[in-house]
Structure 1
Amino acid sequence: MIVQMKRQEFDSLADEALFNACFKPLILDYKSRMAKENSSMVKELFYKELSTGQKALFVFHMYYDHAIESKAEFYWWSAYFIAQPKIWSAIKTGLQYFREEPMYILLEETELVLKRYNCPNTLEKFAVTREDLDSNRELSASINSLYVDFNKTAPLTIKELSDFIRYNYENFVKIED
């Protein structure tokens, strides 16, 4: 599941392009497997087959792709992943792996805010809706502030992850000369 590319292409990719290029084979394989059988066992097997770096990239990219869309999406997907402690922990552990402290701290703050507003810690009790922000001004203001910070921090996080990939490419990319 490691992306293959020529040295010239690898060296010329901008940060977000490299971030996406290393994620693409992972998500394509994941979606292919899930199309055949959508089960937690298939998800766990897929995840176990990834290197530590790929795991960190995969879980953060999954979160980022959804959370960046809007304040409501940031709120809902954060709550959704917090309700799945293994996934939320993997996202934060991945950020630590990349030594990406600012985003890690932001996710910790997001978790504290959501828990203050009774965010469920399992999917069994999950009843969070995007419309919650319309009916709770305090929650909406807190999430708005976090989402603004997320938008400021995300490009820096992508740069840090891309720099990490450049210096540890063998975990993410097979260079073809």
Structure 2
Amino acid sequence: MIIQIKKQEFDYLDDEALLNACFKPLILEYKKRMAKQPENSSISKELFYKELTTGQKALFVFHVYYDHAIESKCEFYWWSAYFMAQPKIWSAIKTGLQYFREEPMYLLLEETELVLKKYNCPNTLEKFAVTREDLDSTGELSESINPLHIKFNETAHLTIKRISDFIRYNHENFLKIED
């Protein structure tokens, strides 16, 4: 599922545009497949994921998480808890960050995990009852999430830069450059 791109376009993409150029075709294909097989979505998800290169897997899981978590403190909290309740996905996000050698964001997710565990966030979707309103009703939780959210926003820009740089120097794992 390697994306093709013209060399001139590749050379002029800024960091976020490069990530999106690598991610957008993947997410569109993912959504298309999920729409075709809603009853077997977990099997379809795994088959889709297996078709990706290691780099594409790392980018895909991080980008999905990032796109949701960057929206607000509530979204950062809820999506972190939601993915943590799916250990395979949470682990894949952290493994992807290690693949990109993105230690600052990795460590932030480790910190976030500790806070979420402290507040008894579930580790399966069966018991998942986390709501975005939890932050409004639990002041201590909100105070614990706030610095993590701020750090996420501060770190995200540098994470995107470093992942983009990684892609530029390892592009064969993400896209094929045409002259």
**For the superposition of Structure 1 and Structure 2, which TM-score range results when normalised by the shorter chain?**
over 0.9
Match of 1:49 among 48, 51, 60: 51
Query: 1:171 deviation in Å?
Result: 0.8
Instruction: Return the alpha-carbon distance in structure 1 between the equivalents of residues 2 and 139 of structure 2.
Output: 45
Paired letter, 1:83: A
- 1:40-64 CA-partner distances (Å, limit 9, x unpaired): 0000000011000000000000000
**Corresponding residue of 1:35:** 35
**Corresponding residue of 2:22:** 22
Paired letter, 2:64: M
**Corresponding residue of 1:7:** 7
Query: 1:86 deviation in Å?
Result: 0.2
- Give me the identity figure in percent: 82
Structure 1 segment 149-168 matched on structure 2, within 5 A = 149-168=151-170
Instruction: Return the alpha-carbon distance in structure 1 between the equivalents of residues 95 and 5 of structure 2.
Output: 28
* TM-score, normalised relative to structure 1: 0.99
Aligned-residue CA RMSD in angstroms? 0.6
* TM-score, normalised relative to structure 2: 0.98
**Corresponding residue of 1:114:** 116
Larger deviation, residues 4-13 vs 109-118: 4-13
User: Any runs of at least 4 consecutive aligned residues in structure 1 with deviations exceeding 4 A, and if so which?
Assistant: none
Q: Is the 8 Å Cα contact of residues 2 and 25 (structure 1) preserved in structure 2? A: no
Tell me, yes or no, if structure 1 residue 147 matches structure 2 residue 166: no
Instruction: Return the alpha-carbon distance in structure 2 between the equivalents of residues 2 and 16 of structure 1.
Output: 18
Unaligned runs of 5+ in 2: none
Unaligned runs of 5+ in 1: none
Paired letter, 1:26: L
Instruction: Return the alpha-carbon distance in structure 2 between the equivalents of residues 35 and 64 of structure 1.
Output: 23
Paired letter, 1:112: L
